[in-house]
Structure 1
Amino acid sequence: MLPRYETKLREIQGMIAEIIQKEVTANRMALEAYTAKSAEGFEAATDTLKMIENDGNTVDNEIVKTFALFGPEAQELRGLVAYLKMTNELVRIAEGTKKYARRIRELLQSDCDLEPFDNAIVQLHKSVVNALACIHTCVSDIANCDVEETYRKVMVEESKNDDLFAILEKDIMSMIISEHELSAEYVRMLGTLRKLERVCDRAVNVANLLMFEQKGGKLQSY
């Protein structure tokens, strides 16, 4: 039988893995909704994330209780601190995904033409899903996870994401200049896609925290 502290830590890891799984699912649903141009699909994606803030608070409360009950040693303390900071990143990922889904749904129903950007937007989506799925795989089996390899994979997806967003930004800025009557809509599109780009940035932050948990050092080193 595992010691009580280790049992509690695995319980916390499992709760975090469930949050990440919801975010993977929601982002996959948003990708499918974008491909199908389905307003209902975006609504379903946001519904999937409705309780993430409550889930995050529940995890944080469990972490605080673990601090109080077990008085963990230095290495164990590092893991709990990493998870405490991780829930904040995960809640922000959920908020970014929900805002993106709501806004892109509205843009699809406007006069704004997204079709010229379809391929890049789909690829932007895929890089987000891949980064989150990679983190979920690691957290779900943390004992056997190579955190350095996970970090590298997430960084590859984030690099792709940045390059895609830079291309989209340039193309959309051209539309803002040429399509004067719809310039406000294209500005809104750019801000909306930035929400998706930021989700991938936050996935890197989660990967950083996994590195910190396993390798130690200073948080800012990652």
Structure 2
Amino acid sequence: MLTKYDKKIDNIRKKISHLLENIAMADELSLEAFKQSDATKFKEVETKLEKIALQGDAIDNEIIKTFALFGPEAKELRFLVAYLKMTNEIVRTGEGVKKYARRMNEHTSNGCNIEQFKPSILLLHKSSVNALKYILECFNQYENCNYEDTYRKVLVEESMNDDLFAVLEKEILNKIIDEKELSIDYVKILGSLRKLERSCDRSVNIANLMMYAEQGGEIKLFN
């Protein structure tokens, strides 16, 4: 039979899982929106993530209440600290997805030639989606998850993401030189794509926190 503490932790875990699921779905929807240049789907992403900060705050409040009510032991304390940090990373990921959708909706409708970068952008976006899905899968199957394996898989996606972003950055900077009249638009596109790069960094942070919660050790996060 579950203790009151176990029930609290299970409730927190479910709320985090729900938050992750919404962000992963929104990120995939944003990818589809870009593929199809669909302004309606971009708006749907923003709507889906509209209250993400409030949801994150609610989870944090539950964690803090659990701290206060149960005076957790060392291992339990580790879980709560990891979850508190994790919520921050998840919310910031969701905010990044929301901003990306809004900005890419603008880019695809303002006449700037983004089609030439589309294959690379799709790969970049897919890696960020994959990283989130690995985390969600592990979180939903936490009792049987291989946390080290999940962390390695997310790291692979993050490494691919970095390489793809570096290529895109070079291509876009060349366009800024060649098409000076559109330089501001290209700079904005580059800033939007950086949201996908940061999403992968945050996925690595979340995977690291999950591993820390289960195994201890050190927390190593991207800044």
Distance 2:129 2:197 in 1: 11
**One-letter amino acid of the structure 2 residue matched with residue 207 of structure 1:** A
Q: Provide Cα deviations, 1:81-114, integer angstroms capped at 9, x if missing partner.
A: 0000001111110111111111111011112101
Taking only the aligned residue pairs, the percentage that are identical comes to: 52
DSSP 3-state at the match of 2:143 = helix
* Counterpart residue number, 1:28: 28
What residue is the counterpart of 1:118 in the other structure?
118
CA positional deviation for 1:160 = 0.8
Distance in 2 (CA, whole Å) between partners of 1:221 and 1:160 is 18
Task: Give the aligned partner of residue 186 of structure 1.
Answer: 186
Measured against aligned partners, the alpha-carbon deviations of 1:185-222 in whole angstroms (never above 9, x if no partner) come to: 01111111011111111111101101110111232489
Q: Flag the 1:140–1:68 CA change in 2: closer, same or farther, 3 A.
A: same
- Runs (4 or more) in structure 1 with deviation over 3 Å come to none
Which amino acid letter does the alignment assign opposite residue 93 of structure 1? T
In the alignment, residue 180 of structure 1 is paired with which amino acid?
A: K
Structure 2: how far apart are the matches of 1:24 and 1:59? 18
State the distance in 2 between where 1:220 and 1:133 align: 21
Structure 2 residue 86 is the aligned partner of structure 1 residue 73: no
Residue 89 in structure 1 maps to residue 81 in structure 2: no
Match of 2:108 in 1: 108
TM-score by length of 2: 0.97
* Equivalent residue pairs, number: 222
CA distance in 2 between partners of 1:220 and 1:91 (Å): 18
Partner of 1:219: helix, strand, or coil? Answer: coil
Shift of 1:143: 1.3
Which amino acid letter does the alignment assign opposite residue 188 of structure 1?
A: K
> Structure 2: which amino acid aligns with 1:122?
L
Please tell me whether the aligned partners of residues 208 and 220 of structure 2 are also in contact (alpha carbons under 8 angstroms).
Answer: no
Question: Unaligned regions of 5+ residues in structure 2, if any?
Answer: none
State the alpha-carbon separation in 1 of the partners of residues 60 and 140 from structure 2.
18
Contact 2:205/2:220 (<8 A) preserved? no
Partner of 2:47: 47
**What 5-or-longer segments of structure 1 have no aligned partner?**
none
Partner residue in 1 for 2:12 = 12
Match for 1:108: what amino acid? T
How far off its partner does 1:144 sit? 1.2
Partner SS, residue 94 of structure 1: helix
RMSD of the alignment, in Å?
1.2
